[in-house]
Structure formats: C-alpha cells, structure tokens
Chain A
Amino acid sequence: MSNKREREKRREERLREEQKATGPGEQRKKLLQIAAGAVFLAVVVVVVLIIANSGGDEEGGDATSIGDVQVVEKLLNGIPQEELVLGDPSAKVELIEYGDLQCPVCKQFAEETLPPVIEKQVRAGEVKVVFRNFPIIGPQSAPAGAAALAAGEQGKGWQFLDLFFHNQGAENSGYADDEFLTAIAEAAGVPDIAKWNKARKSEELEIEVEETNEEAERLGLTGTPSLAIKGPGTNGTELTTAPASSDGLEELVERAAG
C-alpha cells in the first residue's frame, strides 16, 4: 500500500516539475487571456444584437414612413369592395381568411401568396376574398382589426389591410399604436379620418372583432392565416391552412370553382 502511495506522490511531484519546466503558468495565462477576450467579444455581440432589435423600426412599424402605397393601390384599383370583402359580391367562390394584422405569416400571405389571385381570379370576378379578424398575437391585434373594419366602412378596408401588412413591424413591439393606425388609414385613403377614428373605437366594431374571433375558435382554428373556402366545387365550407405558394392558392380556388 505504502509503495503505491509513494509512487502516486512521486508521480504528482514529477508532473509538477514538468509543469514548472514547460511553463504551465505561461500557458494558463495565455488561455485565460483568450477566454477573457472571448467573454468580452460575446458581451459586445449580445449587446449589439439586443440594441439592433430594440429599435424595432429597422423594417416596418414606422408611422412616419408608410411604404408601398402605390403597390397596394395598383393591386386593388378598380376591384369592388365592401367592408372587408374584396371582389364581386356575386362571385361563385368565397375565400375567407382568418388573420391577425400583427402576424408575420399573414404578412407573407398578403404580400406574396394572395396578390396573383387578386390580380387574376378576384379581378375577373371569379372569387371574392373576405378578411375576418382572428386576433391571436397580442393586445394590439384586436384594435388594429377594428381599425381595418372602420376603414372598410368607408370603402378602404383592403387598402388598410394590405398597407398594414406591407408596413408591419416586429411582433408585439408596440408599434401598432394610434399614430401608426392613423398613418395607415391616411395612406389607405380613408376619406373621413375623424369618422374612422370614432368608428374604430366603437363598441360595435369591438363586438364584431370579438365575434369573428369566437367564430374562428368555434371552427377549431389554431393559427393565422387560416382559410375557409366555399364554391360549387367544395363540399360546403372547407377549412384549410394557407398554401405556401400562390400557385397552391390558385389551384385551391380553381378546384372550388368546380
């Protein structure tokens, strides 16, 4: 036993000697310096990332610069709309979108998936698109939805929806305030801003948002955008998730047309 212990002790001593000879202190110092440098770098990167995100105005959500007004106007120009229904009211296919104005996937749907269908099938009177509020993202979602309904009362509902999506800010960053909503309404060309302002805060529209929200929940929808489609080619109203491409959406509409 004692032999073994002595051997262990000698080995440890030998190691210490070796370390002294090869300068482990130097090596250790170097390593800890690298580590300290890495910590400093990590702190800087995290702080920069957080600052870069806290502005929330690097893309969208800025009431002072509402963009894409012409793009939206060009897309919707000449297409009949009433409240939040876009297209010929007697169109044989009805496409309902349950959406949240703050939802980034709805933004993508509004900017990329839906426009080709609006340009072709909605413009041709084959389909009408209905937007129904399903406010799930945060506290500013329902008031934004009511503001869209109020713009719809003045015939600019879809301009409001599309401009909101085109100028959407980061989720729940607080950008969708009165100032932002007013800037969107003005850019959408809502004729009577005072009337719109009163309407969007009315109990009537608040209830309407609540009703479409309850309807979506009753249908068992779990996210936005969710679609419901009805036409000669469907079995009543069919529920579906939003196709990832406009080709998929066009096919869906064609199938519903029978």
Chain B
Amino acid sequence: MKIPSEATLRRLIAFFATLGIGVATYITIVESGGGAPACLAGGGGCHTVAESSYSHIAGINIAIFGIVGYVGIFLTAFFVSDWARLAGFGIALGGFGFSIYLTYLEIWVIDAICQWCVGSAVLMTILFALNAARLIGYAGTSPGPDGGVAEEMTPGEGETGAEPA
C-alpha cells in the first residue's frame, strides 16, 4: 500500500490531534463542573465513568493526560525530523495503549460506556496509525539541507513530490 506524502500525513495528524484536544478538553470541563462527588444515575455512561474510581490517577483527571498527549502529537506535526516522527509515534503509541486499557475498564469493569471516551479512543487509534505510517514511511529520510524546517519537506523514497507550478 502506498503511503501518502509526509505533508499529507502531517496535516491529517494536526487535524485529528486538534479534534482530540477538543474532546479531551470537553471531558475535563464537564467532569470538573460536577460539584459534589457522587455516583450518578440515569444510564449516563459518561457520568458513571467520570465518577468511577478509575477517572483519576494520582488525583489528576485522566482527561488532562489526554489533553497533554494530543497537544504533544499536534506539535510533532509541525516539525520534519526523525525526532518529531519518533516523538509523535511514541506519544500516539502511549495514548493508544492507554485507550485500550480505558476501553477495557469501561466494558468489563465499570460496565458503562462513555461516548466521548470512545470518541477519544477512536481519535487516538487514527493518530497512532497516521504516526506509525509517518515513521515507517519516512524514518531516516532527510528533512532537507538545513534540517527540521517545515517548508523543506521532501518526499519519501519512491514518492513524487507535488508538481511544480
């Protein structure tokens, strides 16, 4: 299968990471506005998940970890270097693994599904695939003569760049 140009991948990564930042921020705001702690009724999967003992790690809302992760991935999309490719892949891998764990908790332990958490897991999965494609397709390719500058994007081997105007 042909891997899209790195520029396309980077644009897609920035786009999905932006959506991820939005979703994680929404979850953080909704959760922190809940007032007194309670286990909530009414089939609201998100509330059940948010009020479960798994929603915080060391007192920090896990959605905040999500925001940090998405911002990190977003930033890596703006750099063209092996460092950025590997960092993007690493963060997305961590987020993807964490999403698997959280989805497992939702289905088998908390017994409630939160559509926003599922949305975030889907975004993280897409970002993991995009960053993996970026790393596999372009690792070791030179970013250009002065290294790491976004404008100096070079197509990967076997790729043809955009037709000059």
> From residue 98 to 140 of chain B, which have CB atoms closer than 8 A to chain A?
100-101, 104-105, 108-111, 132, 135-136, 139-140
Asked if B93 is at the interface (CB within 8 A of a chain A CB), the reply is yes
* Residues on the A chain within 8 Å of B35, using CB: 241
Quick one: which of B40, B82, B132 contacts A31, CB cutoff 8 A? B82
Query: Do residues B39 and A100 form an inter-chain contact, with CB atoms below 8 A?
Result: yes
Q: Is the CB of B38 within 8 A of A172?
A: no
Pick from B39, B85, B86, B110: contact of A224, CB under 8 Å? B39
A104 pairs with B39, CB closer than 8 A: yes
State which residues 137-151 of B face A: CB under 8 Å.
139-142, 144
Query: How far apart are the CA atoms of A98 and B139 in the complex, in Å?
Result: 58
Contact A42 to B164, CB < 8 A, known contacts A24-B140, A105-B37, A136-B39: no
Indicate if A35 sits at the interface (CB-CB under 8 A). Answer: yes
- Which residues of B (20-47) have their CB < 8 Å from a CB of A? 35-42, 47
Task: Please tell me the number of chain A residues within 8 Å of chain B, measured between CB atoms.
Answer: 55
Assess the B38–A15 pair: CB atoms within 8 A.
Answer: no
**With A224-B39, A225-B38 in contact, is A46–B97 under 8 Å at CB?**
yes
Q: How far is the CB of A64 from chain B (nearest CB, A)?
A: 21
The answer to whether B109 and A170 have CB atoms under 8 Å apart is yes
Bound Cα distance from A41 to B85, whole angstroms: 18
The answer, among B89, B140, B164, for a CB contact under 8 Å with A28, is B140
Residue pair B154, A15 in contact (C-beta under 8 Å): yes
Instruction: Please tell me if B72 contacts chain A, counting CB pairs below 8 Å.
Output: no
How far does the alpha carbon of A221 sit from the alpha carbon of B161 in the complex, in Å? 61
Measured CB to CB, the nearest residue on chain A to B135 is A35
For the complex formed, measure the closest distance between the CB of A219 and the CB atoms of chain B, giving whole angstroms. Answer: 12
Q: Is the CB of B42 within 8 A of A38?
A: no
Chain B nearest CB, measured from A153 CB (Å) = 26
Known: A171-B53, A224-B41. A34 touches B86 (CB 8 A): yes
Question: Which positions in B face A, CB cutoff 8 Å?
Answer: 35-42, 47-48, 51-53, 82, 85-86, 89-90, 93-94, 96-97, 100-101, 104-105, 108-111, 132, 135-136, 139-142, 144, 154, 157, 161, 164
Could you list 28 A-B pairs, sorted by A, with CB under 8 Å? A15-B144, A19-B140, A24-B142, A25-B140, A26-B140, A27-B82, A27-B139, A27-B140, A28-B140, A31-B85, A31-B135, A35-B139, A38-B89, A42-B93, A42-B94, A42-B96, A46-B100, A50-B101, A50-B104, A53-B105, A105-B39, A171-B53, A172-B109, A172-B111, A223-B41, A223-B47, A224-B41, A244-B36
Q: Which residues of A contact B (CB under 8 A)?
A: 4-5, 8, 12, 15-16, 18-19, 22, 24-29, 31-32, 34-35, 38-39, 42-43, 45-46, 49-50, 53-54, 56, 100, 103-106, 108, 134, 136-138, 170-173, 217, 221-226, 241-244
A170-B109, A242-B37 known; 18 other A-B pairs, CB under 8 Å? A8-B164, A12-B161, A15-B154, A16-B157, A19-B141, A24-B142, A32-B135, A35-B139, A42-B94, A45-B97, A54-B108, A137-B39, A138-B111, A173-B109, A222-B38, A224-B38, A226-B38, A243-B36
